[in-house]
Structures are given as structure tokens and as C-alpha cells.
Chain A
Amino acid sequence: MSELLELTAAQAADAIRRGEIEPDALWSAYRERAVADELNAYTWVAGAEPPEFDRSSPLAGVPVAVKDLFATEGIPSQAGSKILERYRPPYSATAVERLTGAGATLLGKTNQDEFAMGSSTEHSAYGPTLNPWDTGRVPGGSSGGSAAAVAAGTAPWSIGTDTGGSIRQPAALCGIVGMKPTYGAVSRYGMIAFASSLDQAGPFTRDVTDAALLLGVMVGEDPRDSTSIRLPGPIALPSATDLDGIRIGVPEELTGEGIEPGVLKAFEATLDVARELGATVEPTRLPHAPHALAAYYILAPAEASSNLARYDGVRYGLREDGADLLSMYTETREAGFGAEVKRRIMIGTYALSSGYYDAYYGRAQKVRTRISEDFRAAWESFDFIATPTSPTVAFELGAKLEDPLAMYLNDFCAVPMSLAGIPAISIPNGLADGLPTGFQLSGPAFSENRILDAAHALEKAIGFDGSKARKA
């Protein structure tokens, strides 16, 4: 059993296809660990009977855990919210259908901040998820369950969503790989919506090769999501072992004030590794990046306030009785939404309300343009932009729960890429004070294959060992 758990997902798929391991044994090994999970990473785990799959398929029956906000037909899909308690959708998300269509088996649904609003997975109606490196600390968020499950080895890999860092930041805090592709690369059909112009699905994995394998299956144009796009070519498995000729820009704005010293030290050590691998590493500027987070906290709540208007107690989910229709709506929403979701709905509603639209939403959209322009200017001189993924290591449970602004600052380095819609990966970058840190590499739209290749070369040279978190 322990040998099965040491295999990466790609290795396990190969071994199944070659007949070296039994897929039922792999299923049972992970399912037993998922059932016994003490991190509260799962909100639902599949039954013991191994699902059917095609042994010759690309993913060959390797189980996958899926963030709760992906609709899964007949299986609870609650998005971490009480307002969707016990909701079983009549259809599955395209991303999930593509995974199972490629031979993955659905192991479980993972915990998350309610409607993906949060950076710690403490804003879940189903209790917080714990970090496998230190169970007194958060796993990051919002996809904290997906990250913790992979880090703890209760799932070989998983998928999550990233609106402003919700894949990359928990990947960093849990010591695993997480990738947000170019906006539109993965269909949003069946992803319970937070901020539609930013939401994007992606993989959580132990290594970069697994990330490429899983992402390669997820991407594709989908007639059911008119914002989905076709990538210029398929996602390739990475093979690079050096960074010869690669130019990496390090933006001053995202690598100075506010970054913990231990995180910065690990980041700079990896820049040295990049130089040793043949890359040129130079400082650069993203002048508008310091304003990205403020613009994000207008745009994302505004879109959320509109998207979450659908939860009205009529068609699905919770209903609280009211004397008339309006009081049924308001009582249902008061009882069903948690504190952070209400806060964001209030922020968004205010920002969109009559007389304030131009000053807030309109202006934030213009800042978004400026941020995209900053990146476009950087690509004239650099192949990639590198930053720490998160300014801090995993923090203690409850530490930022009463201070929304402190919580929001977790995504300081991740949000600019979300606003620009560009791909970015976080890879494990060694420990600071015994806790994982992440190294974020971003590139122009559609540069997924180049990012994966560079991340692969860096990963081999860094040689991070995440097995400690899987032992428990």
C-alpha cells in the first residue's frame, strides 16, 4: 500500500496500463485514506465500489478529488455553503466530465471557502480544513481541501478553481504544485460561479508532470461556455532540464514590502537556481500591480453580488419560510450565507449601486487594463515573471478571521495575473520555519507549455520532498 502511495499520478496511470498495479488496489488505498482523513479536506467521499473506467485511457483509473463547487451529477455539490446544503445537481461540470471521460475516477469532493471567497478555507459552512504540515494552521484557500488532500496523500491529485489565487496560494501553503491556466482554457460550465470574468479551473498535483497531464485533459473549447477558448496546441508533458536562454523578470512591486523574510529568502534562493540552470534573472517593474488587489476587491465582489442573486430559495437549496415572497428571499439569504459571502455581496452591491458605478466598478476595470498593459510591456523583455506565490507561510487558524483586509492581502502576488487572465503556476519552493513556500511563474496568455517546461526544470533542481506531509 505505501508503495502505491509513493507513485505520482502519471506513474500510477502508466503502471496500471502496463498491468503492474491493480487499479482496484489504488482506488481502495486512496479511498480508505480519504475516508480516514482528519484534516476535514473532504465534504463527500465515494463508496467502496471502484467506478468503471477504460484501462487504456490517458488517466487509466487514477482517482481524482474535485473541489465542491464543481457540479457533479447526483453527488452533493455545496460550494462550501449552507445555502446549497445537500444539493445534488442534475448534471456535471464539463471539467469533471472531461476527467472521467479520460479515465479518472471520482474519489471525493473537497472542502473550500464558501463560494470560493477566502484564502484559508475557514469560511466553509462545513468547518475549516487543516494544513497537513501543521494542523494548527490553515491550508490556504479557497481550494484548501483540494490542496490539503493532495499534500496529505489522501488523493493522488485534485482540481480546484482560481479567481484571485485560490489554486496557487493553497498549493504554496501545502507544498504542492497548482496551476491556473489562461482564462477560458478550461470550460466554466458547471462551476458554481463566483466572479465570472476571473474564475478559472486548474490542477493540484505532487509534481509538474502530473499538472501537465491533468491540465491537458481539462482544457478545451466548450459550446456550453461561450467564453471558453481553444489553446493553440495540446498541453505537452514537460521535459526541460535547463533554462538556457530563458529571461525571467522579477517585479519590484511584488517582491519587497509585505513579503515575510523567510519566504523572500526561499524565493531568492530559487532565483539563484534559475541562474545556475542558464536563465537570466533581472529586476523589472509592474507599476500598477500594487493597485491590483484593490481593483480586484471591487470587480470580484461586484460580479459575485450579481452571480449570487440566484440563491433565492425558489429552485434549489435552502428555503426559510417568510410571510411573503420578499421576506422568504431575505430570510433564506440571511440564514444561508456566511459572514464573508455577505460581506462581499454588500461590497459588490454598494460598488454597483446608483451613483457609485463609475467611481468604483468603472474605474477598477480601467485599472485592470493598466495591469494587462504592464504585463504586455514586460513580455517584450522577459519570457516569465517570477514572484513568491504567497507573501507568508501558512498562518494559524483564526489568525486573520476577524480582519478581512489582512486576509485579502494573502493574494497580493496572485491577483495581478488573474486580472490579466494569464497563466501562472506555483511550485514548492522549500521550507521557511518548517512550512512550505511557493514559487510563482507566470507567462503570456497561452504560454502554458513553456511555463510547465520551465517549472519542470526548476522543480528537478529544487528537489523539494513533500513526503513528510503524507506520512500521517
Chain B
Amino acid sequence: MSLSRDQVLHVARLARLELTEDEVGRFSDELSKVFDWVETIEELGDLEDVEPTSHVVAVENALRADEPTPSLSQAEALAAAPDPAQGGFRVPSPGAGGGA
């Protein structure tokens, strides 16, 4: 299998990565090799009747009492923010660049 330049750019857009020209070329090559290799699981044939495993230990409905407990203060939650403002996280406007 080989990933085209357009496919790499499409996946990068989904992943919110802005790749350099060099990275686009490299990923096209590397991801093709990786997927050629992971596709060896095709050798296992028909797995139609096999249940998928999403979690290895049988845990269902791990519930706790619905009681309020202490949490971070607003100041603590904002302490590591790159651009806190007016008690919140300030970000550029979604439409400021005309894109999105």
C-alpha cells in the first residue's frame, strides 16, 4: 500500500498537524512501509466471529457515590495557561484569519 501526498495531507488535517514539505514526503514513504507491515494481520484470515477486545480486565460500571469533592480552584486551573484572561483561556478568534 502506498499513501499519496493528498492522503498524507488529509490525515494531517484530521490530526491538526501542519506538516512541512519535507515531512509530507517522509510520512508518505514511512507510513506506507508501516501500513504494509501492519497489514500482515491479514494473514490471520477470517476473524468475523471473534469478539474485539477493548479492555483486558472485566470491569463494568465502576461507579462512585455522586458527592461533591474538592477540585482545583479557578486560579490553579489557569496557572499553566499560555494566555489566561478574565478568568478564562483566551484563544484567537476562529474566524480571524478567514480560514477554518
A residues near B (Cβ < 8 Å) are 87-91, 182-184, 197, 223, 226-227, 229, 288, 291, 294-295, 297-298, 305, 309, 312-319, 321-331, 333-334, 337, 342-343, 345-347, 349-350, 353, 360, 362-370, 372, 404-405, 419-421, 445
Contact = CB atoms under 8 A, between A and B. Distances in A.
Nearest to A354: B14
B65 to A, nearest CB: 9
A315 B15 contact: no
A298 B17 CA distance: 19
B92 A328 contact: yes
Interface of B: 3, 7-8, 10-12, 14-20, 23, 27, 30-31, 33-35, 37-41, 43-44, 47, 50-57, 59, 62, 64, 72, 76-77, 79-83, 89, 91-100
A324 B95 CA distance: 6
Contacts of B39: 294
Name the residue among B34, B35, B47, B64 with the largest chain A CB count within 10 angstroms: B34
Contacts of A372: 53, 56
A316 B80 contact: yes
Nearest to B52: A365
Contacts of A184: 57, 59
Given A288-B44, A368-B53, A90 B76 contact: yes
Contacts of A337: 17
Contact of A366 (B52, B77, B79): B52
A309 B54 CA distance: 20
Given A324-B95, A369-B50, A227 B55 contact: yes
B20 to A, nearest CB: 8
Contact of B81 (A89, A182, A315): A315
A197 B38 contact: no
Nearest to B93: A324
A107 to B, nearest CB: 24
Contacts of A229: 57, 59
Nearest to A337: B17
B80 A370 contact: no
Contact of A331 (B18, B89, B99): B18
A294 B37 contact: yes
A437 to B, nearest CB: 26
Given A89-B80, A316-B82, A328-B92, 17 more contacts: A87-B80, A226-B62, A288-B44, A291-B41, A295-B41, A314-B82, A324-B95, A324-B98, A330-B16, A333-B17, A345-B17, A347-B35, A350-B3, A350-B11, A404-B34, A405-B33, A421-B57
B18 to A, nearest CB: 4
